[in-house]
């Protein structure tokens, strides 16, 4: 069956590596049955059940501590790799339902990925001067201000891009640059 997502030029559904029995790549001059392709075609045959019970347990592990720094990381001035932790694991099982006639095959795969990402928009926070102004104000909830100062870093420099006022007093704020966690569990 065709597994093309024509909107993004890729597969409509990802097939687990462990579910593939064989594959081949067709380039350039292929027959008309592959008329929708412009560059290359990947043909895959997926595994199926047989008369014997069979299966596998697998894991593909990639971690920032196992990967090497490449030239792009060095040119960007990085001294350590950004977070990228991928631990894809699963199991397959196949066998007979009715010998020589009906078979089953199943594959389960789980892929949690943890990486770092920059926020999509600029995040502003008070500078050290702004925090001292907030601490000196009367009528602010000290518990909330304590939690805020515990979890929100101080902006290194003030900017005039964003004006923030609290109780009519202008609080100096500046942009923060940080990497936040980004998780994807598939």
pLDDT tens string 56-65: 999 999 888 8
Q: pLDDT-based confidence at 97, cuts 50/70/90?
A: very high
Selected residue with higher pLDDT from 36 and 40: 40
- pLDDT score at 8: 77
- pLDDT score at 37: 67
Residues 79 and 35: their CA atoms lie apart, in Å, by 48
In this prediction the pTM is: 0.59
Residues 175 and 82: their CA atoms lie apart, in Å, by 21
Q: Report yes or no: 79 and 122 within 8 Å, Cβ to Cβ.
A: no
- pLDDT score at 182: 83
Given a cut of 70, is residue 43 above it in pLDDT? yes
pLDDT tens string 15-39: 888 999 999 888 877 777 776 666 7
Range 102-111 average pLDDT: 94
């Amino acid at each position: 069956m065709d597994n093309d997502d024509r909107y993004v030029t890729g597969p409509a559904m990802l097939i687990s590596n462990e579910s593939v029995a064989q594959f081949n790549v067709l380039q350039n001059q292929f027959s008309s049955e592959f008329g929708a392709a412009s560059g290359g075609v990947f043909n895959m045959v997926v595994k199926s059940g047989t008369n014997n019970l069979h299966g596998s347990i697998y894991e593909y592990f990639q971690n920032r501590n196992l990967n090497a720094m490449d030239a792009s990381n060095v040119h960007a001035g990085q001294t350590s790799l950004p977070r990228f932790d991928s631990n894809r694991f699963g199991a397959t099982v196949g066998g007979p339902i009715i010998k020589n006639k009906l078979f089953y095959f199943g594959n389960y795969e789980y892929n949690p990925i943890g990486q770092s990402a920059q926020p999509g928009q600029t995040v502003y926070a008070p500078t050290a001067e702004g925090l001292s102004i907030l601490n000196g104000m009367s009528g602010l909830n000290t518990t909330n201000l304590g939690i805020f100062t515990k979890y929100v870093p101080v902006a290194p420099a003030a900017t005039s891009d964003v004006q923030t006022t609290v109780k009519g007093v202008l609080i100096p704020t500046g942009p923060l640059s940080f990497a936040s966690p980004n998780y994807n569990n598939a």
